[in-house]
Copies of this chain bind each other. A is one copy, B any other.
């Protein structure tokens, strides 16, 4: 199973679109992050939701987190005003992070390892230099569970755990040798 076989379409934002639009898109659809493209459709950044949230944190607070605690509640409540008139480009992190991008023919484990290492809840899948699709953490887990364990094996695991008569097997699933 290769990355390009399990990736999905995902909403993208243009780097020069209003930051407010990106934040609303993420909030309304509960997205795990956003994919930012340049005007000519090139992949520019993949931001996890936790970093999009930084859009509403004043930069002096980001520099000194202690300050967040002394902001009046009314000021904190109007934090989203910070987004008004800003573009996504203006709010991207100063230093470009490693792009969480996989190749079309990467395996599910390569994608999972990259996801864990870069702490990114979504991985862009590239094919011939273009964005082919996106793999989210939940999609990856769903596919791994689907192809790694049949329902039968799964139920054996659960039963095994419940009865706990014998030590848990180190390897459970569809063993080709018994097929």
> What residues make up the interface of A, taking CB atoms closer than 8 Å to B?
1-2, 18, 20, 23-24, 26-32, 48-54, 56-58, 61-62, 65, 68-69, 71, 73, 75-81, 83-86, 106-110, 112-121, 136-142, 144-145, 147-149, 153-154, 157-158, 160-161, 168-174
Contact = CB atoms under 8 A, between A and B. Distances in A.
A85 B165 CA distance: 13
A85 B168 contact: yes
A24 B148 CA distance: 12
Nearest to A73: B107
B137 A53 contact: yes
Q: Which 10 pairs show the lowest CB-CB distances between chains A and B?
A: A80-B148, A84-B172, A85-B168, A49-B137, A81-B173, A76-B107, A54-B116, A27-B142, A76-B109, A27-B141
Copies per complex?
A: 2
